[in-house]
Every structure is written in structure tokens, then in C-alpha cells.
Structure 1
Amino acid sequence: MENLGELIKLLRKERKMSQQDLAKQYGMSRSTISGIENNTISEIGLRKVEAILNGFGYELTAVPRRSTRPTLDTLKKVNFHG
């Protein structure tokens, strides 16, 4: 979520909006917007984040992570020990 907060802050500033403006537009408190942007809020509903991103012309998506370490199956396929 850290990157989402940074993105939301960047998009808000590009549009010359205050945190209060954004909060009012989406029925949130300014402290909630601040928490999202600074990654200090303990829990935030995905619908709230999605609504903000949609308002800026973005969509929230999920993509599978790439493993940084090979799996055992991968190592077997490349004949790691042979």
C-alpha cells in the first residue's frame, strides 16, 4: 500500500488539490487521506482507495508477485545439481 499512498499524493498534488479537498470529495476525513498518503493508517477499505484512484483515472488491480527465489520445481527443470 505504500506505493499507492505515494501515487495518490502525487496525483492529488498534480491536480492542485488539498488533502481536505480530496477528503470532502470522497466523504472521508483529512486525517484518513493523510494516513493513506503517508502509509500510517492501520486499516483502509479497498473501496475507498479504489474510489480515489478511479477519480484520478486509474484502476486498482492485482498482479501475481514474481518470486525472487527459484522454486524447487524450477531448479529441477534447469537441472541445478546435474
Structure 2
Amino acid sequence: MENLGKLIRTLRKERKLSQQALAQQYGMSRSTISGIENNTISEVGIRKVQAILSGFGYELTGVPRQLTRPTLDTLKTMSFHD
């Protein structure tokens, strides 16, 4: 969520929108926008975040995360200089 909040703040500022203006556009409070941007809101609906991102021309997607860390043997075989 932290990266998501930073992205929303960056997009909002690029478009010279205040938190209040963005909040009004999506029927939210300014404190909700602030909480999203600062990662201090305990819960935010996925539809709210999706609506904001969609308005900025972005799409909310899920990406699988790596479930296990690579072993030392695996790391030794990897080339990091390509």
C-alpha cells in the first residue's frame, strides 16, 4: 500500500490537484486521500483505490510474489551483471 500511496500522491501533484479536489471528485473525505497517500489509513476499499487510479489512467493489477527466498546455491548460479 505504501508504494500505491506514493504513486497516487505523485499523480495528484503532477495534475496540480489538491487532496480536497481529488476527494470531492471521488466522493471521499480529504482525510481519506491523506491516509491513502501517507499509508496511515487502517482500511480503504479497493474500489476507491481502483477509481482513483482509473481516473489517472492506471489499472490496478495483482502480481504474484515470490513465496520462497532463493537459496545461497541458487544465488551463486545467477548472473547479476548481464
TM-score normalised to structure 1 length: 0.83
The equivalent of 2:45 in structure 1 is: 45
Letter in 2 for 1:14: E
> CA offsets per residue over residues 46-68 of structure 1, 9 Å max, x none?
00000000000000000100245
Larger-Rg structure:
1
Work out the CA distance in 2 between the residues paired with 1:21 and 1:68: 42
Percent of aligned pairs sharing the same letter = 81
The equivalent of 1:78 in structure 2 is: none
Work out the CA distance in 2 between the residues paired with 1:14 and 1:67: 35
RMSD after superposition: 1.8
TM-score normalised to structure 2 length: 0.83
Query: For this pair of structures, how many residues does the alignment match?
Result: 73
Q: Give 5+ residue unaligned stretches, structure 2.
A: 75-82
Letter in 1 for 2:12: R
Moved over 2 A (4+): none
- After TM superposition, the structure 1 = structure 2 runs for residues 19-30 of structure 1, keeping only pairs within 5 Å, are 19-30=19-30
The equivalent of 1:79 in structure 2 is: none
Q: Give 5+ residue unaligned stretches, structure 1.
A: 76-82
Work out the CA distance in 2 between the residues paired with 1:39 and 1:68: 26
